[in-house]
Structure formats: C-alpha cells, structure tokens
Amino acid sequence: MKLYDLELSGNCYKVRLFAALAGIPLERVPVDLLGGEHKRPPLITLNPWGEIPILEDGDVTLRDSQAILVYLARKTNALDWLPIEAAPMAEVVQWLSTAADEIRNGPANARLIDKFGVPLDKADTLRRSARILPLLDAHLAERRWLALDHPTIADCAVFPYVALAPEGGIRLDPYPKIRQWIGRIQELPGYIPMPGL
C-alpha cells in the first residue's frame, strides 16, 4: 500500500500513526506541497480534490484520512481498532466525524493560521476550540480512550490536531484529561511522533 504523504500534515500523520500502531506496512511517498505537486498529474488524477493524504492499494485509491483509517482497519481485519458490531462501530465513527468537523475547524485551522499563514478566521477557530476542548476533556474524565475501553481509530483521528493545538496558539494547560490522554497515546507500543509532538 502506498501513502502519498506530507510530514507536517496532521491528516497524513493520522494514517501513519494508525499504521505504526497496528503494524500495517505502508510505502510513504513524500509530496512537494509547496511546489504544488498535489495539484498536478498524477496526484490530481488520483484525488481531484487536490489534497493529501492519498492511499493507493492495487485498484483502490482513497482520499480523506478518516476514510483511509476505516479502510486500513477493515482491510487488515483490525477489529480492536474498528469493531464490526453496530454500537461500538458507531461509537468510533462519531469521533471520526468530530475529527473532520469540530477538531478540523477549531484546533487544526488555528494551526494552519499560525504555523502556515493560511488566511482563515482566527477568532472563529478559537471559538470552536473553546467549545470542543472542554467537551473532550469532560468526556476523557470518565474514560481512558475516546470510543471504547481501548484505543481505536477514533483516537488516531482526533489525536494529531488536538496534540498540536499549541502550534495554533491554543493552550492545553486547562485540559488535564486531554493531556493525560495524549500521554497514553504516546506510550502505546509502536507509537511514532511527528514534528511538533
């Protein structure tokens, strides 16, 4: 399986992190984002959205980090990471949606502004972060992992941009349960870091 990848991308890192934790081998192909490689063939052909990560596995080509996490978990039959029973699967999937919405539009976009100079509404990202981070901290006050009683792809999906929130000017000091959860993920066998973590 081939992953078109950017070292500083939290979305690419989600995929790398899960693959490392689950022992899934990936061939990483670095993408020159600044040079616009993702907007030209062959990458724009693989993903007309012009974004990364992109996963190629034989005849299967996928975009979107959450979809790639689901694919990898199913492809490798990693049932601990993504159960097939309806209720536990839904527990995991609701956090994938949180990663793609509240986390993306809050801490992730704040990081894009501060670290990369992307022209987004910083006040909006801070407002969204101020809503989701207390909810996340309260949730983690009652459990060790986001969805089930063990790590799942939900944790891999939410972790990067929450842990990188300080790069967007968002302090994690007020959220002790989030900080403890970050520590638990970093202690998992197979954990790999990324720049900023």
CB atoms within 10 A of CB 47: 18
pTM (predicted TM-score): 0.97
CB atoms within 10 A of CB 4: 24
- Calculate the CA 164 to chain-centre distance: 11
| Predicted local distance difference test score (pLDDT) of residue 75 | 96
Contacts 24+ apart (CB under 8 A), 180-183: 180/140, 181/140, 181/144, 181/145, 181/146, 181/155
Quote the crossing angle between the two packed helices 153-163 and 10-22, to the nearest 10°.
Answer: 140
Blockwise average pLDDT, block size 10, the chain, 197 residues: 98 98 98 94 96 98 98 96 98 98 98 97 98 98 98 98 98 98 98 96
Q: How far apart are the first and last CA of the chain?
A: 26
| Predicted local distance difference test score (pLDDT) of residue 29 | 98
| Predicted local distance difference test score (pLDDT) of residue 180 | 98
Domains with residue ranges and CATH for the chain: 2-75 (3.40.30.10), 86-186 (1.20.1050.10)
